[in-house]
Structure 1
Amino acid sequence: MEPDFWHQKWAKREIGFHQPQGNPLLTAHFQRTGLEAPARVFVPLCGKTRDIAWLRSKGLQVVAAELSETAVKELFAELELCPGVDSHGPLKRYHADNLVVWVGDIFSLQPEMLASVDLVYDRAALVALPPALRQRYSQHLLALTQSAPQLVINFEYDQSLRAGPPFSVTKADLRAYYAASHHIEDLAHQSLKLGKEQVDAHECLWLLKPHP
């Protein structure tokens, strides 16, 4: 997807992908990661997800990336945080109280800017990208995070029944992107109706652990 696609979504408030209460799969199964405060969690393509509030409530440090500055401003406002803002080349960095959000194209984010990561929480990044971009994204993510463990939420459905995003990402897709670097464990899945088309789908949660 071109950046303008997402900027227009936020400008038009076409943000049905945003979950006001956060994701129940995260809260129900996060303990399976074994992480404890003050571990550092990276949330790519974060939007203004309420999951960030939940992670911070557990004493975790959160670093995130998001294309839309509108989403990031709303995120900090809803968290009642007044961020510092500084520029780093093509990116901006919003930061306050155990939360850092890089604003701009995630492909401009470099490992030295992100620093150490204990877990990637990919709740909306992989499924937001068309197949042509996913391989590039997954390889960039591995380089950014030094192949850190991942908690990944995806959707599986008949892609012919609706246009993404969110796109259908299968277990075979996950294996194609990450099996060389990670063991992929199925933690949970739930049935749901997706989009205005009400397509039958499964929302799945996966834990990816780096190979020794």
Structure 2
Amino acid sequence: MEASFWHQRWERNEIGFHGASANALLVKHLPSLRLPQQSRVFIPLCGKTLDIHWLLGQGFHVAGAELSELAVTQLFAELGVAPEIIQLGKLRHYRATHIDIFVGDIFDLTADTLGQVDAIYDRAAMVALPAQLRDKYTAHLTAISHTAPQLLICYLYEQSQMSGPPFSVDDAEVKQHYQAHYILHLLESADVAGGFKGHIPAEEHVWRLSRLTPQA
């Protein structure tokens, strides 16, 4: 998708993808990663998700990447926190206690700029990208996180019935992108209540991605 597509969605408040509470699948399955408190969780294409509020409340540190600066300013306002803002090349770094959000193109984010990542939570990033970008995205995410373990949530539906985003990403594609670097565990398959647009049957698949080889 062009950057302008997402900027316009935020400017028009067309953010139906923004949940009204922390994602139930995150709450249910994050413990499977066995992260100690104060672990740093990276959320690509994070928007202003309430999952961030929940993670901070559970004692985790949060890093995120987001294209829309409007989304990030709203996030910090809703957190009731005044961030420090630093220009880092093409990115703007919003930071406060236990939270770092990098505003700009995620492909401009480097491992050095991002810093330590203990886990990745990808609920809305992979499924937001068209097929031609997903190879680039997954390779980049693996590189900048040093293959950090992931909790990944994907949608499956008949793509011809809806143009997306969110896009349908089936199990074979998840394996195509990640099986060279991770052990993949399908934790849950659940129907999307009511489907998409009230009539398109859809499922959510929840994956845990564990490193093939533990870091030294």
Is the pair's TM-score, using the shorter chain for normalization, greater than 0.5? yes
CA separation in 2, counterparts of 1:49 and 1:194? 21
Contact 1:19 1:49 in 2 (8 A): yes
Partner SS for 1:199: coil
1:51 matched to 2:56? no
Q: Distance in 2 between matches of 1:68 and 1:180?
A: 32
Distance 1:85 1:21 in 2: 27
* Contact map agreement 2:47 2:68 (CA 8 A) in 1: yes
Cα distance between partner residues in 1 of 2:198 and 2:27: 28
- The superposition leaves residues 148-192 of structure 1 with CA deviations (integer Å, 9 ceiling, x where unpaired) of 101001100000110100000111010010000001101112111
1:66 is the counterpart of 2:60: no
1:200 is matched with which residue?
201
Question: Residue type of the partner of 1:204?
Answer: H
Amino acid at match of 2:191: S
Whether the aligned pair in 2 keeps the contact of 1:162 and 1:197 (CA below 8 Å) is no
Q: CA deviation at 1:38?
A: 1.0
Aligned to 1:102: 102
Q: Distance in 1 between matches of 2:112 and 2:55?
A: 23
Counterpart for residue 23 of structure 2:
23
Aligned to 1:181: 181
Give the structure 2 partner of residue 89 of structure 1: 89
Mark the runs of 5 or more structure 2 residues left unpaired by the alignment.
Answer: none
Provide Cα deviations, 1:14-64, integer angstroms capped at 9, x if missing partner: 100111212100001111110021111000000110001111111111000
Give 3-state SS (helix, strand or coil) of 2:201's partner: strand
- Unaligned runs of 5+ residues in structure 1 are none
Q: Which amino acid is 2:35 matched to?
A: L
How high is the TM-score relative to the length of structure 2? 0.96
Whole-angstrom CA distance in 2 between matches of 1:204 and 1:99? 28
Letter in 1 for 2:207: W
1:159 paired residue number: 159
In structure 2, distance between residues paired with 1:60 and 1:117? 11
Matched residue, 1:211: 212
What is the distance in 2 between the residues matched to 1:167 and 1:45?
15
Residues 79 and 198 (structure 1 numbering): CA distance in 2 closer, same or farther, change over 3 Å? farther
Contact 2:40 2:116 in 1 (8 A): yes
Deviations 1:105-155 (A, max 9, x none): 000001100111110100100000000000000000011001110100110
Q: Given that residues 41 and 61 in structure 1 are in contact (C-alpha distance below 8 angstroms), is that contact kept between their aligned partners in structure 2?
A: yes
The 8 Å contact of residues 43 and 121 in structure 2, kept in 1 or not, is answered as yes
Report how many aligned residue pairs link the two structures. 212
Counterparts of 1:198 and 1:56, CA distance in 2:
35
**Equivalent residue letter for 1:75:** L
Q: In the alignment, which residue of structure 2 is the partner of 1:9? A: 9
Q: Return the offset for 1:204.
A: 1.5
Counterpart position of 1:136: 136
The separation in 2 between residues aligned to 1:54 and 1:194, in whole angstroms, is 26
Calculate percent identity across the aligned residue pairs: 45
